[in-house]
Amino acid sequence: MKAQVKANELLLENKAFIEKPNKQWFIRVFVLAVLICIGLYALVLQVIEGHLITGMRDNVVWGVYIVNFVFILGLSYAGALIAGVFHLARVEWAKPLQRILKLITVFSLIVGPIYILLCLGRPERLFNLFLYPRIQSPITWDLIAILTDLIFCVVYLYFTYIKDFALLRDNSNSLNLYGWRKKLYKFLALGYQNTPEQTKLLNQALDIMAAIIIPTSIIAYSLLAWLFGMNLKVGWHSAMTAPFFVLSAVYSGIALLIIIMWIYRKTQKLEKVFTDNHFLYLGFALVILSLFYGYFYFSQYITDWYNLQETANRLLDKYLDFSQYGFHFSIAIFLVAFLPSIIIGLPWFRSINSIVLTSVLVLAGLWVMRYLMIVPVLETPYLPMQDFRESWVHYSATWIEWSLTIAGISAFILFFIVASKFAPIIPISEMLEKKGENKLVIFYKTRRKLSKK
């Protein structure tokens, strides 16, 4: 009961952020809506005039769109993976982060796949994927995986909201809310009354979901990686692809988590919830992941370096040639593989702001690394590119692609703004559960005794 009282207190303490929105909130939504509309205008142009107005051509058939697709879905799988592991391992300090992680998962799972639709020459024929499915194609795997993951993650997100919806329902009279919201909370809380029986059931469901989300996200992101790995292209056709993708995903997920945590700490004054320790722990995670990233990258490219195959050489030369991708490559690899160690790993530059700044730079660097993993490879086919049209040889994204990229990011932010208005950004009920109260239930009990007493 004590926890319940505390929860009510915490909710009322932060009630300003979920009550009726003010002017500032509407301005933010408006600005984002305008950015999304610009993207929609670009989309309409693309549909009417065809893909010729993008930078994509016969060699670089996938451009910024697929980079965004891979990058954003990476964030999603990272969110699910980290949330699931933290939940099952009952990591106490990570409890306040759970909601942000799950929101990242769901929102990027909604935004990400839009970019693959933008890549399609005939998006209106998408139903052919269900009419004539071929399991041999990595795209079919991907479709199944993304759909499964989206359903699982949306349901999981909802499950984690149930306790808080019940809290909101019980406190709705002391909050300044629209009437429809009160009704909605009552409906969504599913009659959760915090009875021990109900709590046990819900906790079991949450454990099951966390357990299935972890393998689903790993499999789904590996399948996405095999979209490239199953290709005969030099630079993609590597067994490294899937593990490397999963690692980069977790890395980018942690970086984004730090940024979003910082934004809510600043705007909603959650210093007591998102403590300095959170930044420190996640910052160290960033350092470790950056070292892993460096290790993976090094082992991939040192093998390529020793490889003398002509096309592989041509590709490697592009990364090292400063008139081509040399600058992008050296800056991006510095950001993702070395910067966290220097800024966070060493004691002299370490601070909340520097950790956040590093996260921003790492996120940008990881996006560029994705770009470098996709575009130069497509620009390096086995046959020489003997086209007299410059745009056919070298890819450069047009404003259509950039504005749709910005629209996607805006939509992601907008989802967060609306979601954090609808319910607290921190899982209040879950946070206040006592340590050891929520024990892990083992479903498949061992039939024999594991050890003789």
Partner 1 sequence: MKPTYILSAPLLFLFFFCYVPTKTMAATNIQKKTKTRLKVYYEKLPNSNKKISIILFKGSGKKMAGIKNAEIFLTTYNLEEEQVLTSLYTDANGEATLIIEANYLFPKDEHGYSIIKAMYHGADSLKAAKKQIKFMDLNIDISFDIVDSIKLITVSTFEIDSIGSKVPISGVELNIGVERLFSTLYLSKIKTKKGIGIMEFPNDIAGDSLGAINIIVKIDDDDDYGTITKSAKNNWGTIVDYSIAPNGRTLFGDEAPLWMIISVFVVLAGAWYHFILAIYKVLKIKKIEQNLLQKS
Partner 2 sequence: MKDKKGNSRRKFLSAGLKIGVATAAGGLAAANVFEEPPTKGEKIKVLTTDGTVIEVEKPVTDCKINPCVPAKGVEARKGIPGRSFVMVIDLAKCKNARKCVESCQKGHDLLPDQELMKVYLMKDNPESEPFWFPKNCFHCDNPPCVKVCPVGATFKRTDNIVLVDADRCIGCKFCISACPYSARILNWADKESYASNDPSYSPETQVPGQHGTVSKCDFCPDRARVGKLPYCASSCPMGAIYFGDKNEDAVTNGEETLRFKELIKERVGYRYLEELGTEPNVYYLPPVNRMFPYERGFSKLSEEQKEILLNSISKP
Per CB under 8 A, residues contacting partner 1 are 134-136, 141, 144, 148, 151-152, 155, 159, 162, 190-193, 195, 197-198, 201-202, 204-206, 208-209, 211-212, 215-216, 219
**354 binds partner 2, rule: CB under 8 A:** no
Q: Quick one: what does residue 175 bind among partner 2, partner 1, none, with the CB cut-off 5 to 8 Å set by partner type?
A: none
Secondary structure of the chain in HEC code, one letter for each residue: CHHHHHHHHHHHHCHHHCCCCCHHHHHHHHHHHHHHHHHHHHHHHHHHHCHHHCCCCCCCCCCHHHHHHHHHHHHHHHHHHHHHHHHHCCCHHHHHHHHHHHHHHHHHHHHHHHHHHHHCCCHHHCCHHHHCCCCCCHHHHHHHHHHHHHHHHHHHHHHHHHHHHHHHHHHHHHCCCCHHHHHHHHHHCCCCCCCHHHHHHHHHHHHHHHHHHHHHHHHHHHHHHHHHHCCCCCCCCCCCHHHHHHHHHHHHHHHHHHHHHHHHHHHCCCCCCCCHHHHHHHHHHHHHHHHHHHHHHHHHHHHHHHCCCHHHHHHHHHHHCCCCCHHHHHHHHHHHHHHHHHHHHCCCCCCHHHHHHHHHHHHHHHHHHHHHHHHHHHCCCCCCCCCCCHHHHCCCCCHHHHHHHHHHHHHHHHHHHHHHHHCCCCCHHHHCCCCCCCCCCCCCCCCCCCCCC
Closest separation between CB of residue 254 and partner 2, Å?
A: 30
Which residue from 3, 129, 184, 190 is in contact with partner 2, where contact means CB under 8 A? 129
Closest separation between CB of residue 223 and partner 2, Å?
A: 12
Output 286 or 378, the one with its CB closest to partner 2: 378
Which residue from 52, 201, 346, 441 is in contact with partner 2, where contact means CB under 8 A? 52
Question: Taking each helix axis from N to C terminus, what angle separates 241-267 and 276-306, rounded to the nearest 10 degrees?
Answer: 150
- Cα–Cα–Cα angle for 133, 135, 141, rounded to 5 degrees: 100
Output 209 or 332, the one with its CB closest to partner 1: 209
d(CA 26, CA 18): 14
**62 binds partner 2, rule: CB under 8 A:** yes
Output 164 or 379, the one with its CB closest to partner 1: 164
Q: Quick one: what does residue 382 bind among partner 2, partner 1, none, with the CB cut-off 5 to 8 Å set by partner type?
A: partner 2
**126 binds partner 2, rule: CB under 8 A:** yes
Q: Quick one: what does residue 243 bind among partner 2, partner 1, none, with the CB cut-off 5 to 8 Å set by partner type?
A: none
Q: Quick one: what does residue 197 bind among partner 2, partner 1, none, with the CB cut-off 5 to 8 Å set by partner type?
A: partner 1
Size of the site for partner 2 (CB under 8 A): 46
Closest separation between CB of residue 202 and partner 1, Å?
A: 6
Closest separation between CB of residue 155 and partner 1, Å?
A: 7
Q: Quick one: what does residue 151 bind among partner 1, partner 2, none, with the CB cut-off 5 to 8 Å set by partner type?
A: partner 1
Output 35 or 234, the one with its CB closest to partner 2: 234
Closest separation between CB of residue 150 and partner 1, Å?
A: 12
Output 134 or 447, the one with its CB closest to partner 1: 134
Q: Quick one: what does residue 397 bind among partner 1, partner 2, none, with the CB cut-off 5 to 8 Å set by partner type?
A: none
Q: Which stretch binds partner 2 (CB under 8 A): 136-144, 198-206, 265-273, 351-359?
A: 136-144
What length does the chain have? 453
Q: Quick one: what does residue 8 bind among partner 2, partner 1, none, with the CB cut-off 5 to 8 Å set by partner type?
A: none
**215 binds partner 2, rule: CB under 8 A:** no
Enumerate binding residues for partner 2 (CB under 8 A).
49-52, 56-59, 61-62, 116, 119-123, 125-126, 128-129, 131-134, 136-140, 143, 227, 230-233, 310, 314, 378, 381-386, 388-389
